[in-house]
Amino acid sequence: AGQIVFSKLRERSDQFAARGLVRSEESKQKIGGADDVYVADIREAEHLAPAVQGADALVILTSASPKMKPGFDPTKGGRPEFYYEDGAYPEQVDWIGQKNQIDAAKAAGVKHIVLVGSMGGTNPNHPLNSLGNGNILVWKRKSEQYLADSGVPYTIIRPGGLQDKDGGVRELIVGKDDELLQTDTKAIPRADVAEVCVQALQYEEVKFKAFDLASKPEGEGTPTKDFKALFSQVTARF
């Protein structure tokens, strides 16, 4: 989703001067390798200042990602096991890494932080927390709370299950407190999450707000074009 946000911001160069922040030279080359892409480790607070210096807004899309343990054979039934690499557990990436970004942005005078978290954070027993013993939603929730308490104008977006499908062709739905998880519409294309991030930078209505985000299946409802109307439905501050 981060790559998509970056390319969307670049495409709208009349509105935005975009910078990217990636963790490796390899990732930098993947998104064009230009001077406007910074390489830094979000777990090291002192590395982040140059990337946010002079920025008006920051969109945070970093996340730990579990890996499947080798040797899983789907033909034998059972469930695959997952693990996180050393140093890349949710506590280090989703908590310390996001906290570092928020602190660096606040110190640099950034006026708006958009943070992409996840649905499911109201339930400590959510199955995602047991993956690799990472408690990923617990740590995401902690960084969301840290941002909400930071004093910096914020927008917290908690998408449902991410899909690699076309964006811009579905009706988007906002909710709160994981209510959407009880419905059939709890997934959303990554491209739509990215578009909502970019749109959130443009509307005062969505500052100091937090919301769950999902989409209707393609072909149901009307594709969302009016983001001001979508954001005006959001009432929750956290």
Residue 142, phi then psi, degrees to nearest 5: -65, -40
Q: How far apart are CA 175 and CA 214, in angstroms?
A: 8
Exposed/middle/buried for 5, CB within 10 Å: 0-12, 13-18, 19+?
Answer: buried
* 202, two tokens: 């443009």
Tokens 């840290």 found at: 146
User: What is the amino acid identity at position 75?
Assistant: T
Annotated catalytic sites, by residue?
118
* Residues 225 and 171: beta-carbon distance below 8 Å: no
Q: How far is CA 42 from CA 36, 67, 139, in A?
A: 17, 20, 15
Helix spans in 1-126 (H):
2-11, 25-30, 49-52, 90, 98-107
What DSSP designation does 183 have? S
Exposed/middle/buried for 224, CB within 10 Å: 0-12, 13-18, 19+?
Answer: buried
What DSSP designation does 108 have? T
* 38, two tokens: 């910074």
| Max Cα-Cα span within the chain | 55
* Residues 197 and 116: beta-carbon distance below 8 Å: yes
